[in-house]
Chain A
Amino acid sequence: MAILSDYHYYAPSTLGEVLDLLSSYKSPAVLSGGSDLIVNLKSGRVEHDAIIDIKQLQKSELALLKKLECKGETLFIGSLVTFSEIINSKIVQKRAPLLVEMAKTVASVGVRNRASMVGNICSAVPCMDSAPVLLVYDALVHTKSIDDERTLAIQKFFISPRKTLLRKKDLVMGISLALPKGKLGSRFVKLMRYRGEDLAQANLAILALSANHEYRVAFGSLSGTPLRATAIEKVLRGEATLTEELLTKVKNILPTLISPITDIRASKEYRLHMAKVMLERGLLDAALRREGSGSHLGENLI
């Protein structure tokens, strides 16, 4: 299928030009991997008057957007960093394996080689895989526009399906994650119709911290926007052992937090049922991983 709508295509060499273009067009789109944008243009779901390709910037600015580094306890992921680069990064593997576990479930190898994680959250479809992980890390989204620079908390970033706090003039520069100190266990669980590449019917990210026996839990694809399950976290806080009673308690809270829908990928009933299964298995595995055992990274949990 061809793209039938007309648009201007730009490949600026400076960030200044990018920001100028973003502010001067009515409905511009930033092109990084294009794995969402091109599909949407082809299907006619979106039309843009300008497509601004940010992959041809001058070296120093390109390096800024491709930055993937850990300084102290802060992990910065530039907006051009692809899922494959996250998977292959030694730093991420060591410091935030949860990102790797998530990234490996995104689409297929070919798409991961192009698609960026920032693009994933900018598209903000409810089934995106990045969001729950970024939520449990309390990530910050750094943006730039012709007028200002902003730092947005991921918790507030998503407004509704396909809608975020980003304004038309904003360019996302990158995301930063605050890495917790001490022993840590983490788990990403994604419900798919089969083992091949699939959009999430539901997904879940968990961090099990050693300090105060704290757990952080976030779900995706189970409501209009991804959500941090603070009510569950509260119940679990300070609990040294995940008893059956405790697990039952949080599973019972779950339906009050999420609002799964029935669509072609799954029924509401199955999503709700599986969210509980995923929560229980995910928590147990994250707790084990915190102690150095548990499943291998990427091992099937469901």
Chain B
Amino acid sequence: MEFSFIGKPAVRLDGKEKVTAAARYVDDLDFGANLLYAAVVESPHAYATIKSIDTSKAEKAPGVVKVITGKDFPYKFGMYMQDRYIFAQEKVRFVGEQVAAVIACDAISAERAAKLVKVNYDVLKPVLKVEEALTIEGCNHSTSEPILIHPELKNYEHVPWFFPRPESNIAHIRKIRTGDMDKGWAEADHIFTDTYTVPRYAHCAIEVHAAVGLYDFSGRLTLWTASQSPHTQRHLFAEALAPLGVAHKDVRVITPFVGGGFGGKAGVSMEILAAALATTVRGNPVKVLWNRAQEFYNTYQRQGVLAQIKVGVKNDGTIIALEQNLYWDAGAYVEYGANVVNAAGLSASGPYRIPNLKIDSYCVYTNLPPGGPYRGFGYSEFLFGLESHFAEIAKKLKIDQIEFRRKNCIIEGDRLAYGGKMNPNGLQEAIERVASEIKWGEEEKTTTKAHAKNIRTGKGISLFWKAPAMPPNASSSAFIKFNEDGSINILVSAMEIGQGFLTVMAQIAAEILSIPIEKIRVETPDTDRNPYEWQTVASHITWGTGSAVLKAAEDMREQIFCLIERALGKERKDLYLKAEGVRSHSDETFHLLYKDFVISGIPMEDGTFRGGPILGRGSFMPEYTSAKSNPETGQGGKPNVHYTVGAAGIVIEVDTDTGKVTIPKVVMAVDAGRVLNPDLVKGQITGGVLQGLATALYEDMRFDDKGRLLNPSFTDYKIPTTLDIPQEIVPVMLEVPGHDGPFGARGIGEHTMIPIAPMLANAIEDALGIRIKSLPLTAEKIALHFQLHSHKLIANDNHSSL
């Protein structure tokens, strides 16, 4: 296919706004002199019963307008399960949970008064680990019955594809059963079992969460939020505040530019406070602005996981059976996080052909902050264990790592874990390209001069896959408007969170309508004006919203052709769009420019006009997905639209004394279906590699034995700087088009970070002969592991020489 705009670089639509600081974020907006500020009173305990709240002192403090507690808002809300409260009711379930809020004339008065609210607690013993929350075979745990965090679980409303276990801390189990496990184990020549752990992580968007709510005297509730999900927020605000008489049409969410999301700004978290508080001070906007510490402990966190993996293989390396128990530390409220657990359970085989599967993915309540969506949506977490384990197996069987993956990787038409067939994909090509780029099998020379005797080199690889995790009917829509000069405005409600989607939407419309990118404007949404979008998550925007924009552009084309046929008598079948206008195959002289008719219409000889402003509309919903399945086997539905796949490889140098890793090269091959904008795909690859390396090398959330987060700041929660990036990142973009999506494109945004941690762990094993089974792989952990390992080797040597 020949394209004019697709697959080509394009100047970012939001580039000028961002470099000139014209781009505005929630906290930059001016709300006038009546703006009020809210500060929250936070729970100091991980688990406690609230005995009483005394707000009297705070109410009398200077500048205070109102003090609000749970009594004022006894409502629940939630994305997939309604287990969350606007303010704590009766109990607090994590350190930092909002118990009350003070609204004041300025931020400092609000903060000061919040310290005057006296809350009396009966402190309860918290549950801080999945091993304490439930009985897990093979794990040490106390003999006493686990403490229940949500005794009311049986009454919670949830989506039909969740299966909670009342009277336990299990909010959901996703089970997958295929094949015959007994037969699988019997046929296996070897069985390998191990346990891997992944801690919690923070998104670390540079912009913190911010929300401003205004409830005017006409009953209109407007929210300005830093969000990935304006329409979903509108829906959840309307649902939660329905008892106050708020309806969807009355709620308006305006979302300006967002300074990074990574999943953390999906759904509704702290924004519910701005919505609720606004209703108590009608006519005054109220701002809730998180500080960096709150950003760490009272938004969503990436969930930790404990993965027990058992794999049966044949002598030739063929994987015959996989059993995997994933225990997710989902935190105090799982309204969003439970779907991470679900998505991971559905796909926990990884991109491998495994005939016999038994997966149990447990969503476990703990008294830590709520888990939730984070780039990768559970896939990074389970893949760390799975790809580490596969590398160990290949090593033990003395099969080359690449060969092991060639042999077992999933191919088009293979049966998926939940039934259905694997979509066309470029996984095999990705493996070959990565192997060749990192010169797999060839010895690497060290580039580090200093202390060369302590430097060991290693290489590691990992495959990856991910499907968008969405409700089966998640949908997108688009409007396109023509302007007098033939330029267009595209109205969608996806969010620009740095990924560059505005530009991609423009490229799609440009391709259909033959309008240069410079004449297209796409902006951030206002739910009153812009059409529906589910959320900017799941790497589905290019595919889903892109499909809606494509349809809207085609709709406009259709309207144009109809009008010209009707007004000018040109045959429709001869018409085509070119260079900002309409042309005809049968009449080369015909060239009607958009600017001459798209608003004002086509003049007729009698002085009348035909047409009028041309508006395109497009809706997209995958009509082939279903979340209905057998709860015991996971069979029967088609929960995923498709998988995006790829492979990644890394070359590292490790200093055996210090444990420090340097990275000469990373290669990332991803099958984008169709590369709509190569610069942006490259950007996603670079960003994904860095975010992945950060989670693999430096980051983790540390809690003390009271459930308090020990590192809620960048002083002790480290994300890489420019000094920490690999020397070379090689992007490999593959194109095996999908059956839908604009020009066959699939999402690649989250995917590029998924393989990083296991790939690095595999390279460290290759370099040092040590297998580290818990993240992160800090220099400290590597050095101490290696010291222990080499001492053992020395001890063994001494022993054998005796």
Tell which of B426-434, B565-573, B717-725, B727-735 binds the partner: B717-725
- Determine whether the beta carbon of A273 is less than 8 Å from that of B715: no
Residues in B whose Cβ lies below 8 Å from that of A197:
721
For this complex, 29 residue pairs linking A to B, each with C-beta atoms less than 8 Å apart, are A1-B291, A1-B292, A1-B293, A2-B107, A4-B108, A4-B111, A193-B698, A193-B718, A193-B778, A194-B697, A194-B721, A194-B723, A194-B724, A195-B721, A195-B724, A196-B718, A196-B724, A264-B710, A264-B711, A264-B716, A267-B780, A270-B783, A270-B784, A277-B657, A277-B658, A301-B450, A301-B451, A302-B655, A302-B660
Q: Give the chain B neighbours of A199 by CB distance below 8 A.
A: 715
Docked pose: A68 CA to B293 CA in angstroms: 38
Q: Complex formed: what's the CA distance from A273 to B659 in Å?
A: 11
Could you mark each residue 229-270 of chain A with 1 if its beta carbon is under 8 Å from any beta carbon of chain B, else 0? 000000000000000000000000000000000001111011
| CB atoms of A2 and B658 under 8 A apart | no
Write the chain A residue with the least CB distance to B725.
A195
- Residues of B close to A300: CB separation below 8 A: 450
CB distance from A50 to the nearest CB of B (A): 19
The 9 closest A-B pairs by CB, nearest first: A196-B721, A195-B723, A270-B780, A1-B291, A277-B657, A302-B658, A2-B108, A264-B716, A194-B724
State in angstroms the CA–CA spacing of A198 and B787 once bound together: 25
B702 within 8 A of A: yes
State whether B721 touches A273 (Cβ < 8 A). Answer: no
A281 interface residue per 8 A CB criterion? yes
CB-defined contacts of A269 to chain B, threshold 8 Å = 784
Interface centre among A3, A274, A299 (most CB of B within 10 A): A274
Determine how close the nearest CB of chain A comes to the CB of B44; give it in whole angstroms.
14
State how many angstroms separate the Cβ of B697 from the closest Cβ of chain A.
7
Quick one: CB contact mask for A268-290 with B, threshold 8 Å, 1 for yes? 01100110010001000000000
Docked complex Cα distance between A301 and B178 (Å): 53
Number of interface residues of B (CB under 8 A): 33
Report the separation of the CA atoms of residues A199 and B717 in the bound assembly, to the nearest whole angstrom: 12
* B787 pairs with A295, CB closer than 8 A: no
Contact with A along B371-413 (1 / 0, CB 8 A): 0000000000000000000000000000000000000000000
For B581-606 the 0/1 string (1 means CB < 8 A from A) is 00000000000000000000000000
> B718–A194 contact, CB under 8 A?
yes
Contact of A299 among B450, B711, B722, B724 (CB under 8 A): B450
Inter-chain contacts of A274 with B (CB < 8 A):
658, 783
Q: How far is the CA of A198 from the CA of B111 in the complex (A)?
A: 30
B247 at the A interface (CB under 8 A):
no
A194, B658: Cβ atoms closer than 8 Å: no
Q: List residues of chain B with CB within 8 A of the CB of A198.
A: 718
| Chain A residue contacts of B111, Cβ below 8 A | 2, 4
**Smallest distance from the beta carbon of B719 to chain A beta carbons, Å?**
8
Q: Which residues of A contact B293 (CB under 8 A)?
A: 1
Q: Report the bound CA distance from A195 to B710 in whole Å.
A: 22
Interface of A: prevailing SS: loop
Neighbouring B residues of A264 by C-beta, 8 Å: 702, 710-711, 716
A264 to B710, CA, bound (A): 8
Of residues 706 to 762 in B, which have CB atoms within 8 Å of A's CB atoms? 710-711, 715-716, 718, 720-724
For B723, the closest partner residue in chain A by CB is A195
Chain A hits for B205, CB < 8 A: none
Query: CB of B112 within 8 A of chain A?
Result: yes
- How many whole Å from A185's CB to the nearest CB in chain B? 16
Q: Identify the closest chain A residue to B293 (Cβ).
A: A1
Give the nearest-CB partner of B114 in chain A: A4
Among A3, A193, A277, find the residue whose CB has the most chain B CB atoms closer than 10 A: A193
Q: Tell me the bound Cα distance from A299 to B448 in angstroms.
A: 11
Within 8 A of B (CB), among A195-227: 195-199
Q: Does B105 contact A (CB under 8 A)?
A: no
Bound state CA distance, A2 and B289, in angstroms? Answer: 12
Chain B hits for A270, CB < 8 A: 780, 783-784
Judging by beta carbons under 8 Å apart, are A273 and B783 in contact?
Answer: yes
CA distance A4 to B711 in the complex (A): 22
Q: Assess the B721–A193 pair: CB atoms within 8 A.
A: no
Q: How far is the CA of A150 from the CA of B710 in the complex (A)?
A: 40
> Once the chains bind, are A4 and B112 in contact (CB under 8 Å)?
yes
With both chains docked as a complex, state the minimum distance between the C-beta of B727 and any C-beta of chain A, in angstroms.
Answer: 12
Task: Report how far A301 CA is from B660 CA in the complex, Å.
Answer: 11
User: How far does the alpha carbon of A264 sit from the alpha carbon of B721 in the complex, in Å?
Assistant: 20
List chain B residues, Cβ under 8 A from A193: 698, 718, 778-779
Roughly how many angstroms separate A259 CA and B646 CA in the complex, as a whole number? 48
Given contacts A1-B293, A194-B718, A198-B718, 19 further A-B contacts (CB under 8 A): A1-B291, A4-B115, A193-B698, A193-B778, A194-B698, A195-B724, A196-B720, A196-B721, A196-B722, A196-B723, A196-B724, A265-B716, A269-B784, A273-B783, A273-B787, A277-B658, A302-B657, A302-B658, A302-B660
Cβ distance B29 to chain A, nearest Cβ, rounded Å = 19
Q: How far is the CA of A196 from the CA of B787 in the complex (A)?
A: 26
**CB proximity of A216 to chain B, nearest CB, Å:** 23
* Closest residue on chain B to residue A276 by CB atoms: B657
In the complex, chain A residues 1-26 whose Cβ is within 8 Å of any chain B Cβ: 1-4
- State the Cβ distance, B540 to closest chain A Cβ, in Å: 33
- How close is B156's CB to chain A, nearest CB, in angstroms? 35
**A residues in contact with B715, CB < 8 Å:** 199
Residues of chain B contacted by A194 (CB below 8 angstroms): 697-698, 718, 720-721, 723-724
Contact B291–A273 (Cβ < 8 Å): no
CB distance from B102 to the nearest CB of A (A): 13
Interface string of A158-193 (1 = CB under 8 A from B): 000000000000000000000000000000000001
User: Nearest-CB distance from A155 to chain B (Å)?
Assistant: 29
B788 to chain A, nearest CB (A): 10
CB distance from A180 to the nearest CB of B (A): 26
- The CA of A295 and the CA of B449, in the complex, are separated in Å by 10
Find out whether the CB atom of A273 lies under 8 angstroms from the CB atom of B784.
yes
* Alpha-carbon distance A226/B566, docked complex (angstroms): 88
Chain B min CB distance to A5 (Å): 9
CA–CA, A3 and B107, complex, Å: 10
Cβ < 8 Å to A, chain B residues 639-657: 655, 657
* A196 and chain B: residue at smallest CB distance: B721
- CB nearest neighbor in A for B697: A194
Known: A1-B291, A194-B724, A196-B724. A295 touches B698 (CB 8 A): no
Contacts of B108 in A (CB 8 A): 2-4
A277 to B660, CA, bound (A): 13
Measured CA separation A290–B34 after assembly (Å): 67
Residues of A within 8 A of B292 (CB): 1
| Complex contacts, B711 vs chain A, CB 8 Å | 264
Measured CB to CB, the nearest residue on chain A to B702 is A264
Residues in A with CB closer than 8 Å to B710 are 264
A284-B292 Cα distance, complex, nearest whole Å: 43
CA–CA, A160 and B111, complex, Å: 33
Cβ of B373 to closest chain A Cβ, rounded Å: 26
A108's nearest neighbour on chain B, judged by CB, is B721
State how many angstroms separate the Cβ of B528 from the closest Cβ of chain A.
33
A196 neighbours in B (Cβ, 8 Å): 718, 720-724
Task: With both chains docked as a complex, state the minimum distance between the C-beta of B680 and any C-beta of chain A, in angstroms.
Answer: 26
